[in-house]
């Protein structure tokens, strides 16, 4: 599966546009990570626990988007975008979406 953020794929021609596909995940923070984050907030620096959590969330959302595209018969997803929203105080949704296409 080819996944790109651009509206086309260099060297490939879009033969068929299938339509919108998406994948999402909702993740909650872990209390232990919140304590570590609060301590790191005092001294500064990257909060690697949250970086890892968001990275895993992005990968899961992309995987789910690609699974939907494959079910519809696509071999590529173009114009991929990400969106996040807070569902509740300790949980956030990460959404990946794009246009499923067949390319040659």
pLDDT > 90: what percent of the chain?
66
34-46 residue pLDDT tens? 566 566 566 677 7
Entry pTM: 0.84
CATH of the domain at 58: 3.30.110.70
Mean pLDDT of 19-27: 96
Region label for 49, one of left (φ > 0), alpha (ψ between -120 and 50) or beta (otherwise): alpha
* 76-88/2-3 β-pairing: parallel
Q: Residue 83 sits in which domain range?
A: 2-103
Quick one: which of 1, 8, 27 has its CA closest to 94?
27
Mean of pLDDT over the chain = 89
pLDDT at 33 over 80: no
The total number of structural domains that make up the chain: 1
């Amino acid at each position: 599966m080819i996944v790109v953020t651009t509206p086309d794929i260099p060297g490939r021609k879009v033969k068929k546009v299938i339509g919108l596909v998406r994948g999402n995940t909702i993740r909650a923070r872990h209390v232990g990570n919140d304590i570590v984050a609060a301590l790191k907030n005092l001294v500064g620096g990257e909060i690697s626990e949250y970086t890892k959590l968001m990275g895993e969330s992005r990968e899961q959302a992309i995987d789910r988007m690609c699974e939907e595209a494959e079910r519809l018969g696509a071999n590529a997803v173009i114009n991929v975008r990400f969106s996040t929203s807070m569902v509740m105080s300790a949980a956030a949704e990460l959404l990946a979406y794009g246009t499923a296409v067949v390319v040659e």
